[in-house]
């Protein structure tokens, strides 16, 4: 009897959401196809020289000609990005928690962080490659460097905006600071943290590609650089296209994770 309203409440909620999702995916695919057709068509129609903009079909053909190189580049850059992103995200949240607990630490270290973020990533990248050599880790460190700071700032905002009455309630149950952190503060900070994580998804890819410019043998940044030296416009576009695929895919994955984890939305 009382299960009926529970069912009634959940069924209509799931129905339109699934339908909406399918429609949104279909819309995006259609938009993508339209852009592809316009690209191909306009280049042919307006007679644009390949030096400025090659046809999409020739770009795709270039990728198909050496799929191994692009796949290897994709995977390598993905690995660098992912390691930097995950480490940067975890470090950012950990630092935010430390800043929340220790005001003195925050006042000492936070300005240093701000200064570190004003150093252009290129300058910093040179240093990192010197330290870590021409390794995957060096690139991940650059991605990390671009990632952790926005995560720290946003996680801290989220942690500090927890309703003090909610903390008081937990304390009245005899909760330890650790229990309050895990059961209340971190989940409360999740929506705000994801704002930074979405930004960090793009930044970490930038970090990885820039890192590769300091010298490496595989990676999308390497492909891009080689194409530039050879003035191979089609190859530049090919590398660009694969990078866009990686960036969009990664961003979507983070956004999807956000929808899964922050399912309750912005309540209150």
Partner 1 sequence: MLRHQDDAPAPAPEPLIELKGVDKTFGPVKALSGLSARVGRGEFVTVVGPSGCGKSTLFNIVAGLEEPDPGGALRFEGRSCHAADLLGRVSFMPQRDLLLPWRTVIDNAILALEIEGRPRKEARAEALRMLPEFGLAGFEAQYPHQLSGGMRQRVALMRTFLFERDLMLLDEPFGALDALTRTLMQRWLLDVWQRHRRTILFITHDVDEAIFLGDRVLVMTARPGAVKLEQRIDLPRPRRPDLVTAPEFIRLKRTLLEAIEEESLKSFQIAEEKIR
Is residue 43 within 8 A of residue 174, CB to CB? The reply is no
Is residue 223 within 8 A of residue 59, CB to CB? The reply is no
Q: Cβ 144 to partner 1, closest distance in Å?
A: 28
What does the alpha-carbon distance between residue 116 and residue 257 come to, in Å, rounded to a whole number? 29
Is residue 211 within 8 A of residue 142, CB to CB? The reply is yes
- Encoded one letter per residue, x for contact with partner 1 by CB under 8 A and - for no contact, window 119-148 reads ------------------------------
Q: Cβ 182 to partner 1, closest distance in Å?
A: 10
Q: Cβ 9 to partner 1, closest distance in Å?
A: 5
* 118 touches partner 1 by CB under 8 A: no
Identify residues 3-42 at the interface with partner 1 (CB under 8 A): 3-6, 9
Q: Which of 52, 103, 174, 229 binds partner 1 (CB under 8 A)?
A: 174
Identify residues 183-222 at the interface with partner 1 (CB under 8 A): 183-184, 187
Structure tokens that stand for 123 in this block: 């300058």
What does the alpha-carbon distance between residue 250 and residue 254 come to, in Å, rounded to a whole number? 6
Q: Which of 2, 11, 118, 217 binds partner 1 (CB under 8 A)?
A: 2
Q: What is the 3-state secondary structure (H, E, C) of 157-175?
A: HHHHCCCHHHHHHHHHCCC
**Interhelix angle for 67-101 vs 103-118, to 10°?**
150
Please identify, among the stretches 105-113, 146-154, 177-185, 196-204, the one whose residues bind partner 1 according to the rule CB under 8 A: 177-185
Name the residues that contact partner 1, by CB under 8 A: 1-6, 9, 163, 165-166, 168-175, 179, 183-184, 187, 263-265, 267-268
């Amino acid at each position: 009897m009382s299960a009926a309203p529970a069912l009634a409440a959940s069924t209509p909620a799931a129905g339109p959401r699934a339908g909406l999702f399918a429609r949104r995916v279909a819309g995006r695919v259609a938009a993508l196809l339209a852009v592809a057709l316009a690209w191909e068509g306009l280049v042919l129609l307006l007679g644009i020289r390949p030096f400025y903009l090659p046809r999409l079909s020739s770009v795709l053909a270039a990728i198909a000609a050496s799929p191994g190189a692009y796949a290897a580049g994709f995977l390598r850059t993905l690995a660098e990005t992912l390691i930097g992103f995950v480490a940067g995200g975890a470090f950012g949240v950990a630092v935010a928690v430390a800043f929340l607990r220790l005001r003195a630490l925050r006042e000492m270290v936070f300005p240093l962080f701000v200064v570190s973020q004003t150093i252009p990533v290129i300058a910093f990248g040179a240093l990192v490659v010197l330290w870590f050599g021409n390794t995957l880790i060096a690139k991940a460190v650059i991605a990390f460097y671009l990632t952790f700071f926005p995560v720290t700032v946003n996680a801290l905002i989220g942690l500090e905006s927890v309703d003090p009455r909610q903390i008081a309630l937990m304390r009245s149950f005899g909760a330890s600071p650790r229990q309050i952190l895990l059961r209340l503060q971190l989940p409360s900070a999740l929506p705000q943290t994801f704002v930074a994580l979405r930004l960090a998804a793009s930044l970490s890819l930038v970090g990885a590609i820039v890192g590769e410019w300091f010298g490496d043998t595989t990676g999308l940044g390497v492909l891009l650089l080689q194409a530039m030296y050879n003035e191979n416009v089609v190859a530049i576009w090919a590398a660009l296209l694969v990078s866009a695929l990686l960036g969009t895919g990664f961003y979507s994955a983070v956004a999807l994770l956000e929808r899964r984890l922050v399912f309750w939305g912005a309540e209150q």
